[in-house]
Structure 1
């Protein structure tokens, strides 16, 4: 589900916004119902759902939000991993906990100690 990766990374506001947006899009487009019908062999019912004029708009919106969510979660996780690698290489101090108005960021001290070999 879109937003869960952001929630796991401590980006709560963005994670919940994306999750609610995903649910909203699924309710309005009935896209998951069409997928369920297609997977259970009810192809005519799935086709009827996808023939509505508004479904095209909602499916395009669903796809763009889904791709953005995957990309953003991946880039955030890569940035966190690079930070841990930099701390290990430079033996620099690491701020493991940060709270801003929009998100909480924290790193597990166990993870940092494991990479340092202690």
Structure 2
């Protein structure tokens, strides 16, 4: 295995652990204070927002109960905490360093997932609620795509200015 593959493997490892649990990627990068702080914040927001209960109810398609259990004032912090943790760990592992505006898909994912959460108590599809887990997840690709498009526009704009 060459050095390039090893570096890519490290970036992927950190990225996947960060997706699994905010703060784990920071621990792998040796950023212990930041990692433990993100873990504590994740647990606090998760517990106060009733997120684990919402996940269980949503997987059982008891979406109106999931909406009733959601503490929106706490859970609205989760998308930004989650996507910042992923980006920060990936960046610290060397990911995106040579790519200008690489953070934009992460940032816009946080924005759109938060918007999906906000509308999840009112949004229905053919009379059925999507819920506080599934609607934000459906907004994720929109956020990613928006971030990618804005990144491409900015790259074109700045590449033309440098000529």
Is the pair's TM-score, using the shorter chain for normalization, greater than 0.5? yes
Q: Which residue of 1 aligns with 2:42?
A: 22
Greater relative contact order, per chain length (Cα 8 Å cut-off, separation 6+) = 1
Question: Residues of 2 paired with 1:78 and 1:57: CA distance?
Answer: 34
Q: TM-score scaled to structure 1, two decimals?
A: 0.59
Q: Which residue of 1 aligns with 2:60?
A: 40
Larger radius of gyration: 1
Q: List structure 1 runs of 4+ shifted beyond 6 angstroms.
A: none
The alignment yields a C-alpha RMSD, in angstroms, of: 1.8
Q: Which residue of 1 aligns with 2:92?
A: 76
Q: TM-score scaled to structure 2, two decimals?
A: 0.44
- Bigger helix fraction: 2
- Taking the TM superposition and a 5 Å limit, the aligned residue runs for 1:1-118 are 1-50=21-70, 55-78=71-94
* Long gaps (5+) in structure 1: 83-118
Moved more, 33-42 or 16-25: 33-42
Give CA-to-partner distance per residue, 1:67-112, whole Å, 9 cap, x none: 1101100101116x98xxxxxxxxxxxxxxxxxxxxxxxxxxxxxx
* Long gaps (5+) in structure 2: 1-20, 99-163
